[in-house]
Amino acid sequence: MPAFSTTEHLLTNNAGREYCLRVWRPAGIRPNARLGTLLFLDGHWLNDTLDEALSSVALDTVQIASLGYRVAERSILAPWRAYDYTPAGPRGLDSDPRKAEWPCGGANHLLDFLRQQVLPRLNTPDGADDPVTLFGHSYAGLFSLYGWLVAPALFKRIYAASPSLWWYWPHMLALLQARHPGSLLDIGNSTPVHLYIGSDERWRPLPAIPGAAREPGVSTIPFAQRFHSALLASGHPDNSLQILAGLAHGPMLHSAAQNALKHFISVQK
């Protein structure tokens, strides 16, 4: 059973925001070995889960990576994630639909950061590796789908867990339906897309009246089902929608990450 060794890279984007890229590689593997790579976003919340999961992995043809922020306070991370993981809003809107003081629209900057600083560190020195597979949950799941839509050749496979498709709904659905035919569509259709949704997840918008109690919310399953139906209608051949029973939004992060890791390993064998 191979053990995994870990390395960490401390990275800073052009705006001065600090990230940590953690990489698990099979111990003793040669530096130029070509490995299938799965990158998890929000590593600050997932690293312990990945450590535990990889302790029982007996495969030396994969490397796992996580990209997380170097701070852990949710009050700080919430607006950062609301910016980093979201595209520009529809009709020029530049703030989060839940909190007007949170700016949105940083997804293209994050894609550039991945291209320039993250993905090169996951390749062999000769740069001959296959594209990296991407996992994201919640806002990061939204980002994973957006990244696939606008940069279809950048990732080999997409896992989007609990993607925040309610975000200016139906904005992401419209972006999917507006995909142009031709070579970019063919490239995008060659990328498998996997959606995970918890059966107990709810979208609970903030009330317009300050201090008012939040309502119980509505299920997020219909958002995912409509997006998945549009994915099928677009001719995309390799996709799935899995509903995980009994899971709400928070527990979905770790459960979906474990499911994605197991599936990723199964397709590498």
- The structural domains of the chain, with segments of one domain joined by +, span 4-206+214-268
CA distances from 204 to 91, 98, 161, 174, 187 (A): 23, 9, 18, 22, 36
Name which residue leads in pLDDT, 212 or 68: 68
d(CA 44, CA 51): 12
For residues 218-241, average pLDDT: 96
Q: Which two tokens stand for residue 41?
A: 């976003």
For β-strands 132-137 and 155-161, DSSP reports them as: parallel
Segments in 8-167 forming alpha helices (H):
43-54, 74-84, 107-113, 139-150
Please list the residues that pair with 39 across neighbouring strands: 65, 134
Tens of pLDDT, residues 156-180: 999 999 999 999 999 999 999 998 8
Residue located via tokens 């507006």: 178
What is residue 180's DSSP assignment? P
> Does the pLDDT value for residue 58 go beyond 90?
no
Tens of pLDDT, residues 76-134: 999 999 999 999 999 989 999 988 899 999 999 999 999 999 999 998 666 556 789 99
pLDDT band, very low/low/confident/very high, at 72 (cuts 50, 70, 90) = confident
pLDDT at residue 149, rounded to an integer: 97
Name which residue leads in pLDDT, 3 or 239: 239
Q: Which two tokens stand for residue 260?
A: 């994605």
Our CA angle for 35, 146, 133, nearest 5°, is 10
Report helix, strand or coil for 238: coil
How many other CB atoms are there within 10 angstroms of residue 165's CB atom?
26
Give the closest residue to 199 by CA, choosing from 255, 154, 153. 255
Averaged pLDDT of the chain: 93
Q: What is the pTM of this model?
A: 0.95
- Choose the CATH number for 4-206+214-268 among 3.40.50.1820, 3.40.50.720, 1.10.1530.10, 1.10.760.10: 3.40.50.1820
For residues 140-152, average pLDDT: 98
Are 87 and 146 within 8 A, CB to CB? yes
> Does the pLDDT value for residue 64 go beyond 80?
yes
pLDDT at residue 126, rounded to an integer: 60
Name which residue leads in pLDDT, 75 or 257: 257
Q: Which two tokens stand for residue 112?
A: 């550039």
pLDDT at residue 212, rounded to an integer: 77
Residue located via tokens 């099928």: 232
Tens of pLDDT, residues 23-53: 999 998 888 888 999 999 999 999 999 999 9
